[in-house]
Each structure stands twice: as C-alpha cells, then as structure tokens.
Amino acid sequence: MAKSNRLHYIGFPVALVYGIIVCIRNLFFHINLLPSQQYAIPVICIGNLSMGGAGKTPMVEYLIRLLSKKYRVAVLSRGYKRQTSGYVLAGEHCTSQEVGDEACQIKHKYPSVIVAVDKSRRRGMKHLLAMTEGERPQVVLLDDAFQHRYVQPSLSIVVTDYNRLFYNDKLFPVGMLREPAGGVRRADWVVVSKCDPALKPIDCRIMEDDMHLQSHQQVFFSGISYLRMEGIWPEECCPRALNSLQKEDEVLLLTGVANPAPLIEEMKKYSQNIKVMSFGDHHDFKKNDVKKISTSFAKMNPESLIVCTEKDAMRIRNNPYFPSEWHSRMYYVPIMVSFLFDKGNLFDELILKHISTIENSRILRQ
C-alpha cells in the first residue's frame, strides 16, 4: 500500500471524529447554547475554511485602504506565533515577536490604523470598545476569525484559494479543512483569491455551482498584483521594480509561508537564476538557518539579491542572525488584491453600503 494511502486510512477516523466535534460545536452556536455576541458597530470578519495561506491578509489590507479614508479602523487578530499572551495593542515600533507576522506587517504599513491581538476575540473587542470616544474604532476587521464564533460579525467574508478551493479539500488531517465545506453557508460573501488572470466567466460560474451557495451569498474573484521590491532595511537600499531584474541576475528566494508557489512563479518571469530556500509557515529563522542561507548566498555573485515575502520580512527585520553586510541586498515583494471582471467597484460599494446601513440603524435607535 502506498504511503499516501496509508496516511489517508490512518487519518480518516481522526478526520471523522474531528468533523463531528466541529459540527456539534457549530450546532451549539446555532441554537444559542454557546453565546455569540453582537456589536453596535460594523464588525467584518475575514476568514477561511482551510488551514494555511488563502490570502486573508491582502484582503484585510484592501479593506483598510478602502475604509480608513473615512472611518477609524481597527484590525483584531489572534497574533499567531507571537511570544506574548493576552491582549496586546500594537505600537508604532512593534515586532512580530510581540504581535505576530500579520499584525506587525499591517501596523508598519498603516500606522494610523488600530492593530490589536488577542486569542479571545471577545476580550479583544471589549478592550477596543473601551477606548476613549475619539480613539474608539468605528469599524473592526476580524482577521482569521471565521471559526471564532463567540463574536458575531455583521459581515463574514470567506477567502478561498483558487489553487485549493474548499469544496475540493478534505477535513484535517486528511486534508486542510478546519471545518466541513458546508460551513461556507455561514458566510455572506466568498472571495476566490489568487485566480488565474486568464479565468473566463464560464469558469467562474462552474466554481459557483460547485460551492452550493445560497441565493443571498455574493461571490467575487480576485488575483494578486505584485508590486515593486522594497528593502527590508529601507534606509540601506532603494526600492526596485521587478522588471529591473535581468534574466542572468541571481536571486536567493527565501520563503517561510504556507504557499510560496505564486511568488516563485512570479520571480521566474524576471530571472532564470532563482534559487529557492523554503521553510515552514511563520518560520522563525534560527542561527543554523542563517548559516545554511549564508552557504548558498556565498556561492552567488556579489550583485546577487535575497528576496522574500512581506510576512517573512517582518521576522527577518528584527532577527540578529542576518549579517548587516547583507542589508543592502535584501528585499521583499509586497502584494495587492485586484478584482477580476471589473468587480472592484461593486465590492467597494457593497462594503460601504453595509457600514452605512449599520450606522443609520444605530442613529435611529438613539
């Protein structure tokens, strides 16, 4: 029997028990045996059904750019793999060790946005709403909170990776699903992320049919736009356009994310000399890791670069093991969400309408 088949048969009973437990938990929330708290302000949840990188953080950042022009926005995250506990409000000079990769990235990119982390989203909400009137958020974005049901969002957005759609996946540990695929029916909207730019409307209709959604649920299709390379230590190197790379340029690509394939594919458009060193998701680079990186980097020419994802950059920036002589040659590649079929305006309008509706209903109650 093949190893993959053995793992499947071993994992199937575990997945079955896990699925039953998750379904019972969801039922308890549905019949109010477990309490889910609502709030008077807009609370938008961005989550997914699968473990790993579906593209939630770029979606959160898209919403920040849209909403922070008009509202005081807060992002509340768990702060995965941080070295602190409880509620932490991210400061201007926060590190990934204090608040986790995603929260650190968001705070550094959008310093005016309130960023907080707490494993208990309800406790985190309590802290945010206890702020003074001039500081209290008007909109809260819950990052990766679709399964954290003690807080009831006013709008739920599920993000699913085009390359690993939730309905083709299986429950953990056989697959990567956190809960059965039917859980998507709790969402208001579904965003299919990382889509092929050549996707056709007929392909989208087939995907929508396979999702078995309800009539009120909206579906959007999005892709990734790669921006210019930014220096991990910006004071030591200037930004560079990706197309400034030549085919012969040597690049050491470091990845410590769940799915590095899209970045690898993008970088290969510009250079034929890409060496990839992949680490686990949210990897904390240790001294031995940097020694291995150094061995590979030393074999490259003096003009070669080290390039990583934006999340990796948050961990590398405060890592003492990366030598200072590398700083002028180390970059990360930011990404941005872009909606297919010119649906970005519709998405924006519906988000703003949702917030306006909640604001108006609160005024009427007063």
Check the annotation: does 57 bind a ligand.
yes
Residue with tokens 């007929």: 202
Helix, strand, coil abundance in the chain, percent, nearest 5: 40, 20, 40
Q: Quote the percentage of the chain above a pLDDT of 70.
A: 97
The per-type count for the chain, helices as H runs and strands as E runs, is: 10, 14
Which pLDDT band holds residue 366 (cuts at 50, 70, 90)?
A: low
Segment holding 208, helix H or strand E: helix 201-211
pLDDT at 52: 76
Check the annotation: does 300 bind a ligand.
no
Check the annotation: does 50 bind a ligand.
yes
With beta carbons less than 8 A apart as the criterion, state whether 154 and 354 touch: yes
Measured CA to CA, the distance from residue 120 to residue 34 in angstroms comes to 15
Check the annotation: does 53 bind a ligand.
yes
Say whether pLDDT at 7 is over 80.
no
Measured CA to CA, the distance from residue 27 to residue 17 in angstroms comes to 15
DSSP code at position 234: T
Check the annotation: does 299 bind a ligand.
no
Check the annotation: does 183 bind a ligand.
no
CA distances from residue 197 to 201, 245, 255 in whole angstroms, order as listed:
11, 23, 23
Half-sphere exposure of 170 (CA within 13 A, CB side): 10
Report the alpha-carbon angle 298-300-301, nearest 5: 110
235 phi/psi in degrees, rounded to 5: -75, -10
pLDDT at 328: 96
Measured CA to CA, the distance from residue 252 to residue 248 in angstroms comes to 13
| pLDDT (tens digit per residue) in 168-188 | 999 999 999 999 999 999 999
Average pLDDT, rounded, for the chain: 94
pLDDT at 12: 86
Check the annotation: does 124 bind a ligand.
no
Of the candidates 342, 337, 62, 336, the one whose C-alpha atom is nearest the C-alpha of residue 201 is 342
Q: Which residues pair with 223 in a beta bridge?
A: 338
3-state secondary structure of 345: helix
Measured CA to CA, the distance from residue 56 to residue 64 in angstroms comes to 12
pLDDT at 11: 84
Check the annotation: does 56 bind a ligand.
yes
With beta carbons less than 8 A apart as the criterion, state whether 49 and 177 touch: yes
CA distances from residue 58 to 143, 152, 222 in whole angstroms, order as listed:
11, 22, 11
Say whether pLDDT at 277 is over 80.
yes
Residue type, 324: S
Domains, in order of start, for the chain: 34-71+138-225+339-365 (3.40.50), 228-333 (3.40.50)
| pLDDT (tens digit per residue) in 297-310 | 999 999 999 999 99
**Entry pTM:** 0.92
DSSP code at position 190: E
Measured CA to CA, the distance from residue 195 to residue 340 in angstroms comes to 8
CA 269 to chain CA centroid, Å, is 24
With beta carbons less than 8 A apart as the criterion, state whether 157 and 46 touch: yes
Give exposure, 125-142, as e/b (b: 16+ Cβ within 10 Å).
Answer: bebbeeeeeeeebebbbb
Nearby residues of 38 by Cβ (< 8 Å), 6 or more positions away: 152, 154
Measured CA to CA, the distance from residue 319 to residue 23 in angstroms comes to 41
